[in-house]
């Protein structure tokens, strides 16, 4: 992989994250207050960072609900500017999707919004600001959202691992301006310091652990190598794989997730492979031995109730254009889809509820893009035309083309955009409408 200029100074030895785990399914709304927070992003002693967070922390609290349960969140905005919360990957009611100007008004400072919805799929999701997201997500306005299976697989620990990077000075100050056109025209705001934050810091040798990796970075694609465990990949973007897969070639685009079920043999390490020594993103330490390890086979999670694609009634092309070394000019419209930069007044496509569309994604640029569709999951079409993985965000390397198949069965107005958030901000976004 290229572009790794991460500094190796003072990497954390243990996950220091202190997550709260509110559970839903009871009547009272959970209050989630967005506010400025002071965070220890760098190792202790290296200075704190002024960030944005929720309920006093960044990442925000981990929200947990059982599949089919309802989340009731009273969102309060105290960050000093407009915002809104988007629930990434959840096949949600359109009115709850959290997109200012499309599904709701922006929540002004001092205001609030009641989010209430049923979580249809069990899996690993997250929430994040969808307002000036290239800045607000960078500054920490996000958190994990876990939807538990009604009958979850047996594990000793269920661990969420948020992966992020920051462009940060040694004194802890976030560097430079956020809306930097040079970043926007290239790979986005890549950090110089990166970490994987596991929600537990200790496990026993022999424990069976579910790992839920979430790339919450605004721009960086993370290849991850895992050490100290043996196991299987069981889900991508919150969607169970039909058969567990061997652990190799883990690559997470911004917003993508991967779930693994593993047995711990040694210190669990999350590494960013490089040509030299790997860059250690984080680890889970060993504390003793599990006297009675779970030794059942790792099997598939219960399948999601996603409609299989029918014969496509729409054949569409979405061509990514622009950026540095591209054919467009720099300015406000750095990136475009099919020649259109920024959110058009008419949708890229209109679908009748239940229609299947094939969309050819063409990356005609010198950069990677992680293309995300709101409100739906779609199938990547694999080599040879077979139906591949079910995702909500698909990574296209430079000059790569991929078809996706989607059943548009969720009514409403849905964004379709690059999840490299600076690309989204500088033009790479459109929308579809399902009626
Ligand atoms: Cu994760 Cu449009 O967002
Ligand atoms: Cu992009």
Q: Which has more pLDDT, 127 or 333?
A: 127
Q: Which ligand is nearest to the CA of 425?
A: 2
Ligand 1 atom closest to 417 (CA): 2
CA distances 293 to 152, 155, 156, 297, Å, are 17, 10, 9, 12
- Closest residue by Cα to atom 1, ligand 1, is 88
On the question of pLDDT at 108 being above 50, the answer is yes
- Answer yes or no: is the C-beta of 96 below 6 A from any ligand 1 atom: no
Work out the mean pLDDT of the chain and round it to a whole number: 93
Distance 203 CA to ligand 2 centre (A): 37
Lowest mean pLDDT among 179-183, 193-197, 256-260, 324-328: 324-328
Q: What is the per-residue pLDDT for 75? A: 98
pLDDT digits (tens, 9 = 90+) for 278-305: 999 999 999 999 999 999 999 999 999 9
pLDDT at 16: 37
* The model's pTM: 0.94
Query: Given pLDDT bands bounded at 50, 70 and 90, which one contains residue 331?
Result: low
Instruction: Please tell me the predicted confidence (pLDDT) of residue 300.
Output: 98
* pLDDT at site 36: 98
pLDDT of the residue at 11: 35
Note the pLDDT of residue 176.
84
Q: Is the CB of 358 under 6 A from ligand 1?
A: no
State residue 27's pLDDT score. Answer: 62
Distance of CA 105 to the CA centre of its chain: 23
Q: How far are the Cα atoms of 3, 201, 232, 251, 283 from residue 226, in angstroms, in the given order? A: 21, 16, 11, 12, 10
Please state the atom number of ligand 1 nearest to the C-alpha of residue 255: 1
* Side-chain-side CA neighbours of residue 206 (13 Å): 9
Positive/negative CA dihedral, 391, 376, 142, 179: positive
Query: Strands 401-408, 378-381: parallel, antiparallel or unpaired by DSSP?
Result: antiparallel
Does residue 267 contact residue 198 with C-beta atoms inside 8 Å?
A: no
Please give the distance, rounded to the nearest whole angstrom, from the Cα atom of residue 47 to the centre of ligand 1: 31
Q: What is the 188 CA–ligand 2 centroid distance (Å)?
A: 8
Kindly indicate whether the ipTM for this predicted assembly is greater than 0.95, answering yes or no: yes
CA of 217 relative to ligand 2 center, distance in Å = 13
Of the candidates 43, 54, 39, which has an alpha carbon nearest to the alpha carbon of residue 11? 43
The pLDDT value given to residue 333: 81
Q: Would you place residue 393 in the very low, low, confident or very high pLDDT band (cuts 50, 70, 90)?
A: very high
Tell me the pLDDT tens digit for each residue of 240-255.
999 999 999 999 999 9
Backbone angles phi, psi at 385, to 5 degrees: 85, 5
Domains of the chain: 30-289 (2.60.40.420), 314-434 (2.60.40.420)
Q: How much is the pLDDT for 7?
A: 55
Per-residue pLDDT band at 371 (split at 50, 70, 90): very high
Residue-level pLDDT at 21: 64
* The pLDDT of residue 13 is above 70: no
Mind spelling out the 3-state secondary structure of the chain?
CCCCCCCCCCCCCCCCCCCCCCECCCCCCEEEEEEEEEECCCCCCCCCEEEEEECCECCCCCEEEECCCEEEEEEEECCCCCECEEEECCCCCHHHCCCECCCECCECCCCEEEEEEECCCCEEEEEEECCCHHHHCCCCCEEEEEEECCCCCCCCEEEEEEEEEECECCCCCECCCCCCHHHHHCCCCCCCEEEEEECCCEEEECCEEEEEEEECCCCCCEEEEEEEEEEEEEEECCEEEEEEEECCCEEECCCCEEEEEEEEEEEEEEEECCCCCCEEEEEEEEEEECCCCCCCCCCCCCCCCCCCCCCCCEEEEEEEEECCCCCCCCCCCCEEECCECCCCCCCCEEECCCEEEEEEEEECCCCCEEEEECCCCEEEECHHHCEEEEECEEEECCCCEEEEEEEECCCEEEEEEECCHHHHHCCCEEEEEEC
The pLDDT of residue 2 is above 50? no
133 CA from centroid of ligand 2 (Å): 14
Ligand 1 pocket, residue 372 CB under 6 Å: yes
Q: Which two structure tokens, joined as six digits, stand for 415?
A: 């964004």
Nearest CA to ligand 1 atom 3: 88
**Any ligand 1 atom below 6 A from CB of 423:** no
Is residue 167 within 6 Å of ligand 1 at its C-beta? no
pLDDT-derived band at 332 (thresholds 50, 70, 90) equals: low
Question: Which residue, among 157, 251, 258, 146, has the nearest Cα to 204 in the 3D structure?
Answer: 157
For residue 179, pLDDT over 90 is answered with no
Average pLDDT for residues 22-51, to the nearest whole number? Answer: 89
pLDDT at residue number 328: 66
Q: What is the rounded average pLDDT of the residues 73-81?
A: 98
What mean pLDDT comes out for the span 395-419?
Answer: 98
Which atom of ligand 1 lies closest to the CA of 89?
1
State pLDDT tens for residues 379-392.
999 888 899 999 99
Q: Is the dihedral of CA 329, 2, 402, 407 positive or negative?
A: negative
Taking the centre of ligand 1 as the mean of its atom positions, its distance from the CA of residue 88, in whole angstroms, is: 6
- Ligand 1 atom closest to the Cα of residue 424 is 2
pLDDT value of residue 4: 47
Identify which of 145, 272, 199 has the alpha carbon closest to the alpha carbon of residue 18. Answer: 199
Radius of gyration of the chain (CA): 21
Mean pLDDT of 5-12: 46
Cα dihedral 382/386/392/397 (nearest 10) = 10
User: Span 75-93, mean pLDDT?
Assistant: 98
């Amino acid at each position: 992989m290229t572009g790794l200029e991460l500094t190796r100074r003072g990497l954390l030895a243990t996950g220091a994250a202190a997550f709260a785990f509110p559970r839903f399914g009871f009547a009272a709304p959970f209050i989630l207050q967005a506010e400025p927070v002071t965070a220890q992003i760098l190792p202790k002693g290296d200075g704190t960072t002024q960030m944005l967070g929720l309920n006093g922390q960044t990442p925000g609290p981990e929200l947990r609900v059982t599949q089919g349960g309802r989340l009731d969140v009273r969102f309060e905005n105290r960050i000093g500017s407009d915002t809104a919360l988007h629930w990434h990957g959840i096949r949600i009611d359109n009115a709850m999707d959290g997109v200012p100007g499309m599904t709701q008004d922006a929540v002004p400072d001092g205001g609030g919004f009641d989010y209430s919805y049923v979580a249809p799929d069990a899996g690993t999701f997250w929430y994040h600001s969808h307002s000036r997201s290239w800045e607000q997500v960078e500054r920490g306005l996000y958190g994990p959202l876990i939807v538990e299976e009604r009958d979850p697989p047996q594990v000793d620990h269920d661990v969420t691992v948020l992966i992020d990077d920051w462009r940060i000075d040694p004194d802890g100050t976030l560097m430079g301006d956020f809306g930097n056109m040079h970043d926007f025209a290239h790979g986005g705001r890549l950090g110089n310091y990166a970490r994987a934050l596991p929600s537990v810091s200790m496990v026993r040798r022999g424990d069976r652990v579910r790992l839920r990796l979430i790339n919450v970075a605004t721009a960086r694609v993370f290849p991850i190598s895992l050490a100290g465990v043996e196991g299987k990949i069981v889900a991508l973007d919150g969607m169970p794989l039909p058969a567990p897969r061997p652990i190799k070639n883990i690559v997470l685009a911004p917003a993508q997730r991967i779930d693994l079920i593993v047995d711990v043999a040694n210190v669990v390490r999350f590494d960013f492979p490089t040509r030299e020594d790997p860059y250690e993103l984080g680890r889970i330490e060993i504390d003793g031995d599990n006297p009675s390890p779970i030794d059942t086979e790792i099997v598939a999670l219960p399948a999601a109730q996603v409609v299989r694609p029918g014969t496509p009634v729409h054949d569409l092309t979405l061509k990514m254009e622009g950026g540095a070394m591209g054919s467009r000019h720099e300015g406000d419209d750095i990136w475009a889809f099919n020649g259109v930069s920024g959110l058009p007044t008419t949708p890229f496509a209109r679908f009748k509820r239940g229609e299947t569309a094939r969309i050819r994604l063409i990356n005609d640029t010198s950069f990677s893009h992680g293309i995300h569709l709101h409100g739906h999951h779609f199938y990547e079409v694999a080599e040879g035309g077979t139906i591949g993985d079910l995702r909500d965000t698909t990574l296209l390397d430079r000059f790569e083309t991929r078809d996706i198949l989607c059943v548009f069965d969720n009514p409403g107005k849905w964004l379709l955009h690059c999840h490299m958030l600076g690309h989204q901000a500088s033009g790479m976004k459109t929308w579809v409408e399902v009626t």
